[in-house]
Chains A and B, each alone.
Chain A
Amino acid sequence: MSTKIVQGVPMPGWPMRIFKGLVLLVFCAVVIIPFVGVISTSVAPNKQINESGGLVLFPKSVNFAAYESLFAGGVVTQALFVSIFVTVIGTVLSLTVSCLLAYALARPSFTAGRPILLIVLFSMLFSPGIIPTYLTVKGVGLLDSIWALIVPTMISAFNVVVLRAFFMNLPNEITESARIDGAGELKTFTYIVLPLSKAVLSVIGLFYAVAYWNAFFSALLYLNDSKLWPLQLVLRTYVINDTQLGSAELGTELLPPQASIQMAILVVSIVPILIIYPFLQRHFAKGVLTGAVKG
């Protein structure tokens, strides 16, 4: 009797392999089916949605009426602009601030490096709590401002630690030689360090972007004015709480069934993540691990 040996482990028999495959298939289906259902329903014809009573897995035909009504300039269009603004501006600011801090902390000769590093590390140990954070944001005058969605969460200590670990791993000779050639800190940072760190910058940037795009509670907490609502809050109001979206909110007379509008809102908030997901995926295992090992 000969069993095939792979990496020293004997191949399991067929029943075991089929069983494992089935388990994995079920897991993957449970993850994928909701997405398929939501996307299908958002483009399915009205008649089919009414017949099924809600969700449709296989649309008989495709129409984009729901999306047309969403982008007609009403509540959802507005929220989409808020979310895009917060995500783009927030990510740029977060990356800038985090990289500058991480670079300074990565320089072994930096005089104030030790105390500042401790400030960063200790902030990870203790979370200050909802109430004092709310009062601080109120105190700085950010309440009911779109900046309340960006500034309080602009820097993540964890990301700073990951970036610092990466910068410290860059070969010292490169930055040394730049300095000998007369480059100051700013020049070394922008022309030498940043171009060498594209991989880690894209991972951290994407993590920040996902966090900004997904932020829901900060909007609920800090914004009363529904004009400033990001997509996630609109999603909660009109999809989870099932508030009716009328022509007044949508800004159009064209009204597809609620179910397909709701699913279209969901799709609009999911698609950006699906788009950046492949880029994220290429790097994230590496990014997460550097953090875990060095953090």
Chain B
Amino acid sequence: MLQRSSLLRRSKTGPQQQLSLGRRLLRDRVLLLFALPGCALIIVFHYVPLLGNVIAFKDYQPYLGITSSDWSGWANFSVIFNGDPAFLRALKNTLILTCLQSVFVFPAPILLALLLNSLFSERIKRIAQSILYLPHFMSWVIVVALFQQMLGGSGLLNNYLRSHDLATINIIGNSELFHVLLTSQIIWKDTGWATILFLAALSQIDSQLYEAASVDGASRMKQLWHVTLPGLRGIIILLFILRLGDSLTVGFEQIILQQQAVGRDVSEVLDTYVYNNGVLGGAWGVAAAVGLVKGVVGVILVLTANKVAHIFGEQGVYQR
């Protein structure tokens, strides 16, 4: 009897468990070969640079290389802890932009999705979607160039104003409007595309809920508040967590492309600070230190926000 049950158990775990690890790897050698190139690329261009962050703790000299450069402890971090003005300027601009983006960029696709979803003509909806998704696939270089052509000194808007003897508006290259310009560029580029996830969530809402609500006499606004928005809550929280994790990343290519025109006072953000001081300025250690702190803070923000989402009973990005 005992013998039989142990036999049974063995047959349940299958032949896989009986092979040694080496044997199993040998059996899977083709699959290992399949996984090798991709895995190697991720390790070399993701995990190796991750280790390369040690130069934040070194007095990195390019001619010595990473391993031979001297350790310098936390010296590179002094710009952060002692509040170097250039660093504080970058931090300030980053925070301003992140606030602008959370307030204006984040809700825009939700509103647009609600608008698209409330259309009754499927055909108009599809055409509108085709048009509105398009800017997402344009590079930042193209978007910035298009904005110049529209709003620049000799752009469409100002030419129109000039030909009608009206005062021209200086938008491109105007440092006072730069943050607004950046925000509106992001809205132009990505709002349409970002509606995809919200539209998907909207289509998941059971239409019986609307029927029940309207039978109970709920107005359209009430339905929006009590049926539609609760249906979107999960995806909104998920995307907000992701946004929070990225809150120190406020658009790098976009800003680098326009930095010359407006000067660093309004355009320097953490990412451009790292690039300008490290790659261009040669202060490798300091730049890496700032980049490292930015990355660590980002991870902490995501994990915290996710935790908060769990406390409020939402799914969040991942579950434990």
Contacts and interface: CB of A to CB of B under 8 A. Distances in A.
A128 B155 contact: no
A145 B49 CA distance: 19
Given A9-B214, A221-B275, 17 more contacts: A7-B207, A23-B115, A54-B152, A101-B39, A105-B35, A111-B21, A111-B24, A119-B42, A125-B302, A129-B295, A130-B274, A131-B278, A185-B34, A216-B257, A235-B141, A270-B138, A292-B200
B132 A31 contact: yes
Interface string A151-178: 1111101001000000000000000000
Chain B CB within 10 A, most for which of A20, A136, A186, A288: A136
B275 A155 contact: no
Interface in B22-57: 24-25, 27-28, 30-32, 34-35, 37-39, 41-53, 55
Contacts of B88: none
Interface of A: 6-12, 20-21, 23-24, 27-28, 30-35, 37-38, 41, 52-55, 57, 97-98, 100-105, 107, 109-112, 116, 119-120, 123, 125-137, 140, 151-155, 157, 160, 184-186, 189, 210, 213-217, 220-221, 232, 235-236, 239-241, 263, 266, 269-270, 273, 277, 280-281, 284-285, 288-289, 292
Given A20-B118, A97-B38, A235-B142, A128 B31 contact: no
B279 A131 contact: yes
Contacts of A270: 138, 142
18 contacts: A9-B210, A20-B119, A27-B112, A33-B156, A34-B146, A101-B34, A101-B38, A105-B35, A126-B295, A128-B52, A128-B295, A135-B52, A152-B45, A189-B34, A235-B142, A266-B142, A277-B134, A289-B196
B154 A32 contact: no
Interface residues of B, number: 96
Contacts of A127: 295, 298
A269 B196 contact: no
A129 B288 contact: yes
Interface string B274-298: 1100110000100110011011001
A119 B252 CA distance: 26
Nearest to A292: B197
B231 interface: no
Given A104-B34, A109-B16, A155-B38, A8 B44 contact: no
Contacts of A55: 149-150, 154-156, 159
A60 B221 CA distance: 49
B44 A54 contact: no
B66 interface: yes
Return the 9 tightest CB-CB contacts between A and B, nearest first. Answer: A101-B38, A132-B52, A8-B211, A214-B139, A129-B291, A128-B49, A132-B49, A54-B154, A104-B35
Contacts, number: 267
B38 to A, nearest CB: 3
Contacts of A57: 156
B221 to A, nearest CB: 11
Interface string B297-309: 0110010000000
A130 B279 contact: yes
B145 interface: yes
Contacts of B55: 131-132, 135
A273 B41 CA distance: 27
B241 to A, nearest CB: 13
Chain B CB within 10 A, most for which of A41, A54, A266: A54
A214 B258 CA distance: 17
Chain B CB within 10 A, most for which of A8, A34, A101: A34
B161 to A, nearest CB: 11
B66 A135 contact: yes
Interface in B133-182: 133-135, 137-142, 144-150, 152, 154-156, 159, 162-163
Nearest to A270: B142
A272 to B, nearest CB: 10
A55 B153 CA distance: 11
B278 A155 contact: no
A100 B34 contact: yes
Nearest to A238: B145
Contacts of B256: 217, 220
B134 A155 contact: no
Contacts of B11: none
B45 A136 contact: yes
Contact of B279 (A37, A221, A280): A221
Given A111-B24, A241-B260, A151 B41 contact: yes
